[in-house]
Structure 1
Amino acid sequence: MSTKVAVVTGSNKGIGLSIVKGLCKRFDGVVYLTSRDESRGKAAVENLNAEGLFPEFHLLDIADRKSVERFRDHIKEKYDGIDILINNAGVSGGFISTHYDECKSIININFNSILILEELIFPLVRDNGRILNISSDCGHLSNIRNQYWIEKLSNIDLNMDDIVQFVDWFLQSVKDNTFNKEDLADGATAAAYRVAKVALSAATIVQQRELDKRNISINSMHPGLVRTDMTTGIGFYSADDAAKTPIYLVLDAPASLKGAYIWHDGKVVDWYDYKSDYYFKISTVLDQVPNKD
């Protein structure tokens, strides 16, 4: 019988590290802690070893195709498959910056990387396996205010090319200096991150159609405002608390839960409800900043 394997991307710190920790305690198989920084990744593994937890480590930069290929080859040779894949790696970027190079980098890491993983890693996920894309409240459709893209992304026949066009539209508008802040919610704060995470959530729905034939479930979720380096320590939850729902989704949720967008408390949210207030609000973050007066 083949060894079960769980992989968590971007897991040398924050939510990813807490997910690895939780899986090491509950998952009956091998857990991979991956990181694009080898020294930080190995240090994280050593810290977990000191707690009596023993994940395996592998270098993995999800935005680097060669790195993903090396990881793919390693898994194929050593275990021949994956049972759980949690796509956690990501960057937030600045709240107000719309510099083209920065926006492109944010989208490469948060969205374009999932296309590389879909091509190279998804085929390794075994039948009946589970995939979880860590999205954000920035990833709900209510973040979009441009009517054309609301309708396009809501279309039942949405495909990955449509989603790529959506991302390209945003990047081109930034490059041409024609970006309109009214196209996104909340004055377009964290614009590139919103676009990347909306694209990721939409991609999850498209990916589920393809994965259905192998009875693989793939969902996306908003982990909540978590106290991590990404949020500069601002948030309502610790990383360990935030890891509980992702772990539930890959270990305990019913197999019928597929292609859903899930809130940090485990509630399934209607991703298509673009008139709702699930969108990210910068005031939520600012309210958590300590008053120095």
Structure 2
Amino acid sequence: MSVKVAVVTGSNKGIGFSIVKGLCKRFDGIVYLTSRDDARGRAAVAQLNALGLSPHYHQLDVVDRASVLRFSDHIKEKYGGIDILVNNAAIANSAEWYNSYEENKNIVEINYKSILTIQELLFPLVRNGGRILNISSDCGHLSNIKNKYWIGRLSNKNLTLNDINEFVQWFLEKSKNGNLSKDDIADNATFAAYRVAKVAVSALTMLQQKELEGRNICVNSMHPGLVRTDMTLGAGFYSADEAAETPLYLVLEAPATLKGSYIWYDKKVLDWYDCNADYYFKTATLRK
């Protein structure tokens, strides 16, 4: 009988850390806390050790292909596979509502393009019947996009990876040329890169589900709520431990029929395609 393995990316602090903590308490197997920075990762493990919990640690920088490969080889060699994979690693631009092209590019690289690398190198290790959770955001609901052309392409039931990548590329080119219209994205295009990256992740989740359907793997994306973390500069309506409850439910307890869905922080499954819904992120919520 093979040992069960759970992996949480970007988990040295915030929601990722709380998900690792919860998995250590409830998951019957090995739990990997991973982080880009080795020292911070090991300090986080020591914090959990002090609580009597014993996560394993491995360095993992999701935007560094070589790092993802090293981690993949490590898991393959030691355990042969993964049962739970939580794609949590992300950055936001909470301090500034509008960012430079370089900052936007970096946000897209970490929040969206890294998931493509993980999909290529770690998804093949996910065992049949496993669970994958992409941590998205309310910025990841389709209602964040107001450009009619892109709403049409992204909501097409025959969506392809090419559609998603071209959407992301369109945004980056507009950002580079300084001609993104504030009407193209909700809330006057505040936090535009984060919205674009997370919408791309939510859309990608549905494609991933189609690809993995034959292996009975559940892939979902979810909005963890506005959580008091470093990423939100302390703004939010609940703690990281509280925010970890729905992710833990999705990877440990949710029915296996819940697949390819976009889920709200209260476990409610939302219609991701409802572009006229009021689910998009509003900067007003950050004003304390």
TM range (shorter): over 0.9
Question: 1:245 is matched with which residue?
Answer: 246
| Cα deviation, residue 234, structure 1 | 1.1
Equivalent in the alignment of 2:218: 217
Residue identity matched to 1:194: R
Q: 2:73 corresponds to which residue?
A: 73
Secondary structure, in 3 states, of the residue corresponding to 2:231?
helix
Task: Give distance in 1, aligned partners of 2:102 and 2:232.
Answer: 21
Q: Which ranges of 4 or more aligned residues in structure 1 deviate by more than 4 Å?
A: none
Q: TM-score, normalised by structure 2?
A: 0.99
Instruction: Specify the alignment match of 1:276 in structure 2.
Output: 277
**Matching residue's letter, 2:16:** G
Q: Are 2:162 and 1:161 equivalent residues in the alignment?
A: yes
Q: What secondary structure, in the 3-state scheme, does the structure 1 residue paired with 2:25 have?
A: helix
Matches within 5 A, 1:7-86: 7-86=7-86
- Deviation digits for residues 230-273 of structure 1, max 9, x if unmatched? 01111101000000000000000000000000000000000000
Q: Deviations over 1:151-178 (max 9, x none)?
A: 1000011011110000000000111122
Alpha-carbon displacement from aligned partner over 1:169-220 (angstroms, at most 9, x marks no partner): 0000111122111100001110000000000000001110001010100000
1 CA distance for matches of 2:103 and 2:229? 21
SS in 1 for 2:183: helix
| Alpha-carbon distance in structure 2 between the residues aligned to 1:162 and 1:29 | 38
Aligned to 1:106: 107
Q: Matched residues, percent identical?
A: 67
CA distance in 2, matches of 1:84, 1:118: 13
Once residues 228 and 110 of structure 1 are traced to their aligned partners in structure 2, the CA distance between those partners, rounded to angstroms, is: 17
Q: After superposition, what is the alpha-carbon deviation per residue over 1:32-83, rounded to whole angstroms, capped at 9, x for unaligned? A: 0000010010001011011110000000000111110010000000001000
For residues 224-239 of structure 1, the aligned pairs below 5 Å read 224-239=225-240
Paired residue type of 1:53: L
- How many residues in Structure 1 have an aligned counterpart in Structure 2? 287
Unaligned runs of 5+ in 2: none
* Distance across 1 between alignment mates of 2:240 and 2:176: 36
RMSD: 0.6
Whole-Å Cα distance in 2 between the matches of residues 229 and 96 of structure 1? 16
Distance 2:233 2:93 in 1: 12
For 1:97 and 1:280, the matched residues in 2 are separated by 14
What is the TM-score of this pair, normalised by structure 1? Answer: 0.97
Q: Aligned equivalents of 2:229 and 2:152: distance in 1?
A: 34
- Return 5+ residue gaps in structure 1 as ranges: none
CA shift for structure 1 position 93: 1.5
Determine whether 1:88 maps to 2:107: no
Equivalent residues in 2 for 1:128-143, closer than 5 Å: 128-143=129-144
Separation in structure 1 between the aligned mates of residue 285 and residue 212 of structure 2, nearest angstrom: 36
Q: Which letter does structure 2 place at the counterpart of 1:96?
A: W
